Amino acid sequence: MAFFLALLNGVIGSLSRLVNASLAVFAGSLRGSLINHIVGTVVAGGLLVVGVRTGVLQFGGLPWYYWIGGCMGVFVVAASNYAVPRIGAVLLGMLLLAAQLITSAGLDHFGLLGGSPIALSWTRIAGLALVLTGAAVTMTERRRRRE
């Protein structure tokens, strides 16, 4: 089930970037991000009201860094809203994926933010190199089209 959800997350993430970028063309990057987060808050609240439970809803005692996730989300949506119309969904997706994988590899390797350490093996390094190569090829192709 986790693999399916990861794949579905990728599909929905790509679609949402395009929908949000279209919204941003209409409303502006930051206003588009605000609309996105208001709708997300209403949907998440609605799911809680109808009984979809994923944990205890409590705010006291949370480590300070748990509170910055929402700020990060606003940045991600607003930055994507700005970037997609300018560089396209494929290049944004490649760069986003490369940055996520490199960051995730570091978080895994050191077991940061409560995760169990997962060593950075040569196969993981090779996989990261392939993704970075793909991003570089995509960027090179884009530069040639502009010339």
Average pLDDT per 10 consecutive residues for the chain, totaling 147 residues = 82 85 90 91 84 68 81 88 88 86 89 86 92 84 65
The per-residue pLDDT for 21 is 87
Closest CA to 76 of 59, 100, 105, 54: 100
Dist. CA 30–CA 32, nearest whole Å: 5
**Which domain, by its residues, includes 112?**
88-147
Task: Provide the number of structural domains found in the chain.
Answer: 2
* Residues 75 and 99 grouped into a single domain: no
The per-residue pLDDT for 16 is 87
Dist. CA 124–CA 130, nearest whole Å: 10
CA-only gyration radius of the chain, Å: 18
Sign of CA dihedral 45, 47, 51, 55: negative
Domain boundary among 37, 69, 87: 87
Dist. CA 21–CA 139, nearest whole Å: 20
* Residues 21 and 68 grouped into a single domain: yes
For residue 115, give the DSSP letter: P
Dist. CA 29–CA 44, nearest whole Å: 22
